[in-house]
Amino acid sequence: MSTPLIVSIPHHLGRDEAKRRLKTGLSRAATSVRALSIDEERWDDNRLTFRVRALGQVAAGHLDVEDAYVRLEVTLPWLLQRFAEVAQIAIQKSGQLLLTKRG
């Protein structure tokens, strides 16, 4: 079993607003990234459980929305582990943009 990729993204939005933005942002991301498809997306309170497919490989994980941060944990198959560092940076940047207060 591989070590999970964990990304924690701080925010100042509160749990409800962060969750709202994530719901709309994830849908947009799935349609804009051709190599990525969402096989499963299920919200249970403040936890999103998901399964995605990239480069023919399946990755599964969950995302927890807290009052001051979002924590993503995903287990990548061996082929996608080669891209873990790049993915972690991209997730961090995209998440910060999505969770930054506009004003």
Tens digits of per-residue pLDDT, 6-35?
Answer: 999 999 999 999 999 998 877 776 666 677
Between CA 34 and CA 46 the distance in angstroms is: 27
Q: What is the structure's pLDDT at 38?
A: 85
- CB-based burial, 5-33: b 16+ in 10 Å, e otherwise: bebebebebebeebbebbeeebeeeeeee
Q: Is 4 exposed, middle or buried (0-12, 13-18, 19+ CB in 10 A)?
A: middle
Amino acid 103: pLDDT: 43
The model's pTM is 0.80
Domains of the chain listed by start with CATH number = 5-98 (3.30.160)
Whose tokens are 């990525």? That residue is: 36
> Tokens in use for 63?
């995302």
Nearest alpha-carbon partner for 73 in 94, 45, 47:
47
pLDDT tens readout for residues 32-80: 667 778 889 999 999 999 998 887 889 999 999 999 999 999 998 887 7
pLDDT of residue 101: 67
Quote the pLDDT of residue 32. 67
pLDDT of residue 74: 93
- Residue type for position 59: A
